[in-house]
Each structure stands twice: as C-alpha cells, then as structure tokens.
A = this chain, B = another copy of it.
Amino acid sequence: MNASIITIGDELLIGQTIDTNSAFIAQEFNKVGIWVKRRVAVGDVAADIEHALDEEAQQSQIIILTGGLGPTADDITKPLLNHYFNGKMVIDPGVAKHIEYLFREVYRRPGPISERNKKQAEVPDVAKVLHNANGSAPGMWFEKMINNRKTVFIALPGVPHEMKGLLSDEVIPRLLQHFKFPHILHRTAVTAGMGESYVAERLIDFEAKLPKQIKLAYLPSYGMVKLRLTCQGTHIRKMEEETDLLFEEMTFLLQDILLSKKDEPVEAVIGHLLLQQGKTMATAESCTGGNIAHAITRIPGSSKYYRGSIVSYDNTIKEALLQVPAGILQAQGAVSSETVEAMVKGALQQLGTDYAVATSGIMGPDGGSDRKPVGTVWIAAGNEEKIVTRLLQLRFEREQNIEIATIQALLLLRKVILGKE
C-alpha cells in the first residue's frame, strides 16, 4: 500500500525551514508497513495544492497533508479541502471546547478568545475530526473513491509536536482499522573509517546473491557509511529469518569497520560501552563549542556515564579550568597536539572521570593562518594510562566542520574505550 506526503508552505520552497515532518511520518508509516512512495512540497497556492492532490491520488491510496491549518491568512488548506471535497464549514463542538480549554488552562491567556482562534473549531462537514491534543488546529480525515479504490486524505497541522501527536494517537490507529498492510523490514548497520566505494567492493559477492525482495542501500555520512537491508513481504517470520541471516553475514564481512548493528549514532555506541564497563566520561571542548556534550546528552540515560564538560572557548579558560600549561599555549599554540592532550588530562582530573575527549581547532570562516589554515583541528581521547591525539584537516564550512570534528572525536574515543588505539 502506497502513501504520498504533501507538505504545504512557501517556507519549504524558499528554504526557510527544513522539512523534518516528512521524515517522521515516513518512519512511523514504515513501522506499520505503509510504503511512502512520494513526498511533495508545494507552496501556499490553492491551484498547486489541488494539483498535488489530484496527482498523488493517482499514485497512492493514502495521502497525508501537513501545514496550512493555522489561524492566519496564509493558512489556506482547510477552506481548500472543504471546497475540494464539496463540504460546508460547520463548528465542531468538541474542537470548540478543546480550544476553550487550551487557551484558559494550558496557555493561560487572559481575556476572551479571539474570533480567529474560535474559528479554528470550524471544520468541513465531510471530514472526520482528528483530536489535536497539543494544539488548537484539529486534524481532518477525508475519504473518496478514486479508480474504484477507497482513498484516504489526512490533513495535519505543520507544527511538529502537534503533527506527531496526531499521527501516533489518531492517524495510524485509524489506518490500521481501514487497511491491511504488508510488512516492511529494515536492518541497518553502521560502519566507520572506510569510504562507500570501498565498503561496496567488500560486498560485491554478497550483494550479487541477494534475493530480489531484499534491497541493500548505502547511506554515507561524515566518516561513516550506513548499510540498510530492506525486505517487503507478507510472512513476517520468514522475512525476519531470511533478512537476519543475511544481515549477520553482511556484518561479519564488515566486522573490522563495524560501528553498530543498529541504526544509531556513535554517541549511543559509546553509551553502551561505558554502561557495560561501568565507566564515566567527560569532555573538554574548544572548537566544537559544546556540540560533543550536546551529542552525548541527547541520548536518554546519558547522565549515568556522562559527568560534564568544560567548554574552554577562550584560552584563559584552558589554563584556569583545564590546567593547560601556559608554556604549551605559548609554544605550540591552542591548536596543537600538546594542548588537546593537556585538555584531556585536565578534564580527567577536574571532572573526575575514567575517559575524556578534547578538541581544539579553527572552524572558520576567520582565524586561519598559513601554518594553521581554517579547518585545522586537533582531537584527543584517553584515560589515565594513555591519551591519543589526531590531526584533522577539514575543508568545509563552519557548521559542517563542527559536526565532523564532533563525530571524529567520538569515533576516536570509542576506539580508545575498546583498546583499539
């Protein structure tokens, strides 16, 4: 069963916002066996939205729209759908009550509720209302026979947490009542330290013998390559057996570069290792400016092994809080192997952990020199016994350089924890 996602809003077409909603919807659909065939983004233009509806209805039996349901004039989706499905607008008492509740109890707004917000209780009489627990704009469910197939159109607000709540609590349960879906199975492994083409060389024979219902995909990202096996079918048991067997074979062929047999970031892998060993870690960041700490603390439960960070953006902080000897900063400079090594020592001591990781570099656009151009980054990771340092020469823009240095530092720390460095 195919689905199409239509996201609505000029902000998506001028690049002002990045569309994270589609990814979430696709993930949730996949889990229940709905294959997203197409994603389309259109502007706040009635003709373009209607054209997209006509078009996607030819491709998919489930069409999900997000955006344009807000209370402001540029939100045209609701009247448009009302017209598209020949409905008329009626006040939904349930939604009206919910809006009352939200503005009085949750937002605690003084004074009367504006007409504009009351109007959000208006819905097309041809739509089933989907309760939006996190906001005032309700979701809507429309049905229409197209090419003799029941086709479902679902409109959701574009605000991510509202969309997410509606999708999980209202949309997916209803879809499961209406349709019977095949199974879609994914197994993802993550490798580090080898380029996509070299990983592919390793898997030539493996890939050649894959049965047609199982696809292998390569997803390269900074310093890592994700490998995803996807299987579609009807007998979940059989699919799992077959896919897991192949997945084991694939990961065995990649064992020397294998980071994880799950689709998880390196900071999660480090978390597992530290929990297993009952060890703790700290960070001492200069050029990554807290991004390593953020990556680690994004992981639920990281407080069990992560104690903290000293972000020493200014050299005086490197001296004062991380005890980097002034001599090193003068002689070798802040961006040097000696400095990051001293930062690791300082972090181990000041934060009292088993492991620490450190970074110092020039992320750009300014601050480079002939000897140390923009993109020069030193990273270090270690414990009481041993500290390893590495030099990176990054060639990208500031934000990417920060991201890559973060990942490389975490990959180095992982090797140190595993005793592979």
Instruction: Please report A residues at the B interface, Cβ cutoff 8 Å.
Output: 9-20, 22-28, 30, 35-44, 48, 52, 55, 70-74, 107, 109, 114, 116-117, 134, 159-161, 184, 186, 188, 195-198, 200-201, 207, 215-220, 226, 228, 230, 263, 283, 285, 288-294, 296-298, 300-303, 306-314, 316-317, 320-321, 350-352, 364-367, 395-400, 402
Contact = CB atoms under 8 A, between A and B. Distances in A.
A289 B298 contact: yes
A14 B41 contact: no
B306 A308 contact: no
A130 to B, nearest CB: 19
A364 B300 contact: yes
B228 A16 contact: yes
A308 B297 contact: no
Contact of A217 (B74, B220, B309): B74
A36 B16 contact: no
Give chain A's interface secondary structure class: mixed
A289 B316 CA distance: 22
Contacts of A228: 11, 16
Contacts of A294: 288-291, 293-294, 402
B13 A17 contact: no
Contacts of A395: 134, 161
A285 B290 CA distance: 10
Contacts of A18: 18-20, 23
A407 B230 CA distance: 38
A76 to B, nearest CB: 11
B402 A218 contact: no
B10 A217 contact: yes
Closest CB pairs A-B (n = 3): A289-B297, A290-B293, A15-B26
Nearest to A52: B38
A308 B314 contact: yes
Residue with the highest number of chain B CB atoms closer than 10 Å, among A289, A366, A398: A289
B311 A200 contact: no
Given A114-B201, A313-B303, A30 B55 contact: no
Contact of A72 (B23, B218, B398): B218
Residue with the highest number of chain B CB atoms closer than 10 Å, among A44, A317, A321: A317
B41 A22 contact: yes
A306 B186 CA distance: 44
Given A14-B26, A39-B41, 11 more contacts: A14-B30, A16-B263, A38-B48, A70-B220, A72-B200, A72-B218, A74-B218, A289-B296, A290-B297, A309-B313, A310-B310
A396 to B, nearest CB: 5
Contacts of A11: 217, 219, 228
Given A15-B23, A39-B40, A313 B290 contact: no
Contacts of A312: 308
A38 B42 contact: yes
A300 to B, nearest CB: 6
Residue with the highest number of chain B CB atoms closer than 10 Å, among A23, A55, A283, A312: A23
A133 to B, nearest CB: 9
